[in-house]
Amino acid sequence: MNPFNEKPSKSILELTPNWKGIAAKPYNKLDADPFTKERVILMNGIEVEAALFGHNFHRHCTDNDLRRDIALCRRQEQLQQKHVNWLSPSNETPLETTISYEQLAVDLTACLAMREPDAYAKACMDFALLEDFDHLYRYANLLDFDGDVPAHQLTLDTIEITPGRPTIAHHRHPMDTVRRFNNARTADIRTVLSTMTLTAGEQQTMNFYMNVGNTIPEGPGRDLYQEIGMVEEQHVTQYGALLDPSLTWLENLLLHEYQECYLYWSFYETETDAHIRKIWQEHFEQETMHLFIAAELLEKHEGKDWHELLGDGEFPEKLDLQPTKEYVREVLAATVENTAQAEDFVDVRELPAEHRFFTWNDHVNGRVQDVPSHIVAREHIDQFGEDYRREEAPNPIKDLQDRTHDNTQVGRKQG
Ligand SMILES: [Fe+2]
Ligand SMILES: [Fe+2]
Ligand SMILES: [Fe+2]
Ligand SMILES: [Fe+2]
């Protein structure tokens, strides 16, 4: 598929929906395909990024003709965001939605890591993957307290729920969260698309916790959103660092529109819900319009041809979200003890005692018994005699197999 061959025959006004057009029927939280929920969350995050990027561009631009053109596309991004995010039903609680957010983080990261040609970008993905995998376990334990809808009734067992690198180990010195950037002109297009997609996805999770965390009743759950929200800040820093910072605003706009086209096309091709599939198709058409506008603006204002960044414009293989249980187990078995040191990943057991990882981690955690991510597992164990898990085989890490004791050492302590 090449979006540059798909120029819409309609005008931008004809491609703009009315209120009825964006008021779509929400999915049913108990029987929706978990991957449909993941696609909804991701595309909402992509549209939020499109709108915020558009506003930042606008604020850094001195040419009002160009600002008017950006405003035109940005208005549609906002309509798309409303259309997509309102697919989440009102009876889905923030905590239930959170389960889907963390499941998306795991499945999306694993799917992209499995096809990633750049070894460094793949290492970054594997690194954050294990952390979101542990977040899923922590939130699932919290959700199970009330016994209302346990997490596996939402994930339909398309993902395992078991400890990853324990959340208590994620809190690192900010200087160890910045990674090396790539060159969008020479990088494989899959690397460019994947790092942009993960940046927007993690940013959406960060924003979501920033906003819903305080709607959770007083107790360990409310505090858990603060703790995990701070880890999402680290994930956004990591993926944002990978993006090419030397691109101009208009080059960046072109990449944003190309990425939106790519994702809507992928999801239009793979969606199982017929009603939602139509929405992906409709948005794909709008995005091809944005892509043509971005390419024209780049030519007009900077004299650059879109081929310089996008080659022949042909999409890579589509993004087909699927269960990734085996891959997650492999990464867990191989890298659970990893932490970050500046731009690279190292085995925490080999760090010197005075390393800033330990100083920072001990400082923000305070007493281990006060750490929310530990408390939610411990409280579940106290109440039910064991933690909440959904495993198809024992956890690949021996120290994480004990269901009556929450491990706070793995990934965090010297050997
Ligand atoms: Fe969009
Ligand atoms: Fe997470
Ligand atoms: Fe994350
Ligand atoms: Fe767009």
Cα of 256 vs centre of ligand 2, distance in Å, is 23
Cα of 287 vs centre of ligand 4, distance in Å, is 5
Six-digit token string for 228? 């995990």
Cα of 138 vs centre of ligand 2, distance in Å, is 10
| Per-position b or e across 277-292, b if 16+ CB within 10 A of its CB | bebbebbbbbbbbbbb
The DSSP output letter for 390 is B
Each of the 415 residues of the chain gets a pLDDT tens digit; together they read 999 999 989 999 999 999 999 999 999 999 999 999 999 999 999 999 999 999 999 999 999 999 999 999 999 999 999 999 999 999 999 999 999 999 999 999 999 999 999 999 999 999 999 999 999 999 999 999 876 789 999 999 999 999 999 999 999 999 999 999 999 999 999 999 999 999 999 999 999 999 999 999 999 999 999 999 999 999 999 999 999 999 999 999 999 999 999 999 999 999 999 999 999 999 999 999 999 999 999 999 999 999 999 999 999 999 999 999 999 999 999 999 999 999 999 999 999 999 999 999 999 999 999 999 999 999 999 999 999 999 999 999 999 999 999 999 999 999 7
d(C-alpha 255, C-alpha 220), whole Å = 41
Question: For residue 199, which ligand has an atom nearest its CA?
Answer: 3
C-alpha separations of 48 from 228, 229, 415 in Å: 21, 18, 43
Question: For residue 201, which ligand has an atom nearest its CA?
Answer: 3
Label residue 19 exposed, middle or buried (CB < 10 Å: 0-12, 13-18, 19+): exposed
Question: For residue 228, which ligand has an atom nearest its CA?
Answer: 2
Which residues, in sequence order, are CB contacts of 207 under 8 Å at separation 6+? Answer: 48
Which residues, in sequence order, are CB contacts of 189 under 8 Å at separation 6+? Answer: 310, 311, 316
Cα of 341 vs centre of ligand 1, distance in Å, is 36
The DSSP output letter for 161 is B
Cα of 99 vs centre of ligand 1, distance in Å, is 25
Work out the number of other CB atoms within 10 angstroms of the CB of residue 89: 15
Cα of 68 vs centre of ligand 2, distance in Å, is 37
